[in-house]
């Protein structure tokens, strides 16, 4: 199950579960602005492509909440 991380790993912007976020296959998470801008849709951690993060339906979110652990990439 996806962690639905709470922030962009690049700029630390808050990303609620229904945010327009991008992820790679390792669940590295970025806001759409960073992903489409300076990252050029490529994960800076693994080199993989960044795709739109799915939105978990509200009834499932209650049972399976998003992660609260903030992650920032090392520069």
Extents of the domains making up the chain: 1-65
pLDDT at residue number 67: 96
pLDDT at residue number 74: 81
One CATH from 2.60.40, 3.30.40, 3.30.110, 1.10.3470 for 1-65: 3.30.40
Q: What is the Cα 34 distance to its own chain's centre?
A: 11
Strand 51-52 to 29-31 pairing: unpaired
- pLDDT higher than 90, residue 75: no
Whole-angstrom distance, CA of residue 2 vs CA of residue 58: 15
pLDDT at residue number 50: 98
pLDDT at residue number 46: 95
pTM of the prediction? Answer: 0.92
Q: Which residue, 42, 13, 14, is CA-closest to 26?
A: 42
The conformation of residue 7, written as its DSSP 8-state character, comes to B
Across the strands, what pairs with 7? 14
- Tokens for 66, please give them: 């998003």
Q: List pLDDT tens digits, range 5-54.
A: 999 999 999 999 999 999 999 999 999 999 999 999 999 999 999 999 99
């Amino acid at each position: 199950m996806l962690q639905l991380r709470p922030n962009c790993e690049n700029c630390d912007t808050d990303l609620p579960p229904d945010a327009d976020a991008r992820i790679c296959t390792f669940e590295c998470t970025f806001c759409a602005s960073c992903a489409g801008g300076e990252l050029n849709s490529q994960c800076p951690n693994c080199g993989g492509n960044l795709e739109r993060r799915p939105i978990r339906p509200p009834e499932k979110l209650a049972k399976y909440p998003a992660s609260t652990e903030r992650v920032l990439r090392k520069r």
